[in-house]
């Protein structure tokens, strides 16, 4: 184990529990407005989350199940782009209305890291506008070193490209970096980049294989809002009831 010198956060499912009641709902509204007979229920969307990226999920669904209307091959790119733009508009409207709060412990962990002088970054396959909206609406006081989002990389998770880019931006070694992820593909991406991984699960990912993570928790938790330590590959049995930066530093050192 090594000294912690940087924290990287996935966004969807880690910072905000956006997938089930945010992105999925926004996609369905966009499909309905466009006249497509597509509605992603919770089970379908969970399956689609194994594909990294919203545009990529739509392409996968179009190729495997269709949109209920024939779309000429030469029009697919334009259709996907238009749908994704409208879906992002709807998602941002939901954020602005306060419909999607932060998960417990996220802001506290980020504030503690900032006070300790650690660079903090976001690494997400989500759209750049959505990532910026979450920062502006929910985390305006956090001094992020960077936000990497959307198509900034050519290969999305589980490929490690986004985390390798983040490491290059900070100049911090992978073994000195803790990544907060919620999914199998995200944890695999972070591990493939050589980082330490904390998996903070949610309703969609609690049954996924997260055995590659150094530890997994039900959430980061808060004083008075305890979280559960689900699995750990780190020695020690002194779980404090919620995840703290000091505890992580002691365990990873």
Annotated catalytic residue 12:
yes
* DSSP H stretches of helix in 54-127: 54-64, 76-96, 106-115
Three-state secondary structure call for residue 125: coil
**Pairing of β 6-9 and β 120-123:** parallel
For residue 174, CA distances in Å to 85, 192, 215, 234 come to 34, 10, 17, 17
75 given a catalytic annotation? no
Structure tokens at 13: 């499912």
Contacts of 91 (CB under 8 A, 6+ apart): 18, 22, 23, 26, 130, 133
Concatenating the DSSP letter of every residue in 196-248 gives EEEEE--TTTTTS--TTSSEEES---BTTB---EEEE-SS-----SS--HHHH
Task: Note whether 4 and 178 are within 8 A (CB).
Answer: yes
One of 12, 17, 182, 214 is an active-site residue; which one? 12
Residues acting as catalytic residues:
10, 12
């Amino acid at each position: 184990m090594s000294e912690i010198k940087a924290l990287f956060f996935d966004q969807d499912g880690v910072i905000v529990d956006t997938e089930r009641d945010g992105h999925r709902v926004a996609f369905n509204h966009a499909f309905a407005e466009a006249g497509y007979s597509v509605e992603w229920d919770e089970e379908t969307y969970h399956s689609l989350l194994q594909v990294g990226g919203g545009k990529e999920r739509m392409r996968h669904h179009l190729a495997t199940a269709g949109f209920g209307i024939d779309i000429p091959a030469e029009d697919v790119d334009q259709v996907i782009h238009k749908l994704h733009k409208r879906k992002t508009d709807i998602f941002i409207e939901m954020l602005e209305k306060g419909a999607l709060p932060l998960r417990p412990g996220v802001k506290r962990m980020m504030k503690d890291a900032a006070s300790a002088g650690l660079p903090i970054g976001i690494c997400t396959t989500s759209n750049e506008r959505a990532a910026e909206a979450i920062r502006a609406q929910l985390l305006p006081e956090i001094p992020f070193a960077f936000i990497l989002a959307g198509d900034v990389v050519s290969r999305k998770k589980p490929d490690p490209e986004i985390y390798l880019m983040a490491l290059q931006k900070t100049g911090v070694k992978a073994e000195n970096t803790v990544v907060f992820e919620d999914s199998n593909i995200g944890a695999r991406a972070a591990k493939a980049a050589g980082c330490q991984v904390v998996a903070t699960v949610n309703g969609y990912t609690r049954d996924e294989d997260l055995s590659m993570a150094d530890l997994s928790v039900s959430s980061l938790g808060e004083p008075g809002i305890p979280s559960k330590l689900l699995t750990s590959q780190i020695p020690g049995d002194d779980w404090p009831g919620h995840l703290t930066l000091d505890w992580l530093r002691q365990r990873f050192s």
